[in-house]
Homo-oligomer: A and B are copies of this chain.
């Protein structure tokens, strides 16, 4: 059976080497005679896993002093709430840039707690660009950004410079490029793209964030409580943290962030060049600068080719290419573990469609 090319938007492809070790540990973890699924999260072996995972994140992203790294639960959807609970003061205002469905949800959840203002939006063009040159209110509690928009295929390439604390939902592009963590007070990210399997959520928190909102925060949403308990306030999502740790180890072995970024650029270069070149397709995001290196969205100029293209895609064993219903067309999600060869297969499939057209 030939290989499946996994373009799933998330949960998504992870390295085969990681799957092998992750599979073994379900039967026998660390030669303990026990499965990773049946050990106590307080056992020294698992405490070591959690600590290594947190440290690897610090190493790979060069997290500066004064920041803590946490592996929690609930995905970015819980992150929206956690962010506001920890940083939005009762009478203060937060500034949100709306770049798509996830930003919209982040704003909705923050509004349940206090004042969350949308200071810029690309809703006018179905989120097919990244707003720029907007004014950030000087007294805002924070500026909230979504670095990459999986559904629409846009990505912030240059983060705004501001004195206002910046929060960023980096769920779908963290670990794919160099970032300067010191530019952010809070980064959060669902694990299920470049980090690991679904079920864990990464938080990178500047410690000055603690108690900033002045609110009586529910314990599970209080970043300080999780920090004080070394990310073990309650039972963590053991297996998701373990597999994330394996993947972080693998990332370092592959050359770390610089290598991840280089591969992301190769994949993006390949696919966008073909989208531009091939007369049958067009990019869903017009401005090259705003195009995501993680999720390339594109459509057929003429739907008459749809059935044949879908068939060719299926024959090539390309999985998960269907675009989100809000955009239509196709979405090539190209996370860290996707081989450049898989992109080559997609490019050839697009070329085959052109030949037969």
Q: Which residue, of A37, A219, A240, has the highest number of chain B Cβ atoms within 10 A?
A: A37
Identify the closest chain B residue to A200 (Cβ): B199
**Counting CB contacts under 8 A, is A78 at the interface?**
yes
| B interface footprint on A238-254 (CB within 8 Å = 1, 0 otherwise) | 11100100000000000
Number of copies of this protein chain within its complex: 2
**Contact A14 B37, beta carbon cutoff 8 Å:** yes
Number of interface residues of A (CB under 8 A): 63
Q: How many Å lie between the Cα of A256 and that of B354 in the bound state?
A: 57
- A344 in contact (CB, < 8 A): no
Task: Check if B39 sits within 8 Å of A238, measured CB to CB.
Answer: no
The stretch among A130-138, A178-186, A228-236, A278-286 that forms the contact with chain B is A228-236
Instruction: Check A319–B218 contact: CB distance below 8 A.
Output: no
The residue of chain B having its C-beta at the shortest distance from the C-beta of A8 within the complex is: B40
Q: Which listed residue, B9, B11, B74, B108, touches A37 by the CB 8 Å rule? A: B11
In whole Å, how far is A283's beta carbon from the nearest beta carbon of chain B? 23
> Are B74 and A220 within 8 A (Cβ)?
yes
Checking B34, B76, B108, B235 against A319 with a beta-carbon cut-off of 8 angstroms, the contacting residue is: B34
B220 touches A34 (CB 8 A): no
Whether B238 lies near A40 (C-beta < 8 A) is: no
Let me know if A235 and B198 touch, CB within 8 A: yes
Q: Which residues of B have CB within 8 Å of A319? A: 34
B-contacting residues, A1-20, CB 8 Å: 1, 3-4, 6, 8-14, 19-20
Q: Which residues of B contact A1 (CB under 8 A)?
A: 33
Q: Mark A76-116, 1 if CB is under 8 A from B, else 0.
A: 11100100000000000000000000000100110010000
Q: Which of B8, B24, B105, B216 contacts A23 (CB 8 A)?
A: B24
User: Are B27 and A23 in contact (CB-based, < 8 A)?
Assistant: yes
B22 touches A37 (CB 8 A): yes
Q: How far is the CB of A294 from chain B (nearest CB, A)?
A: 15
Chain A 25-67 interface mask (CB, 8 Å, partner B; 1/0): 0110000111101111101000000000000000000000000
Residue pairs across A and B with Cβ atoms less than 8 A apart, 18 shown, are A3-B33, A8-B38, A11-B39, A13-B38, A14-B35, A22-B26, A23-B24, A33-B317, A34-B319, A40-B320, A73-B78, A73-B199, A74-B78, A78-B220, A81-B218, A112-B217, A190-B235, A198-B239
Given contacts A19-B35, A19-B38, A109-B220, 17 further A-B contacts (CB under 8 A): A11-B39, A12-B38, A12-B40, A14-B38, A33-B317, A37-B197, A43-B320, A73-B237, A74-B74, A74-B78, A74-B220, A77-B233, A192-B235, A197-B239, A199-B200, A199-B240, A239-B240
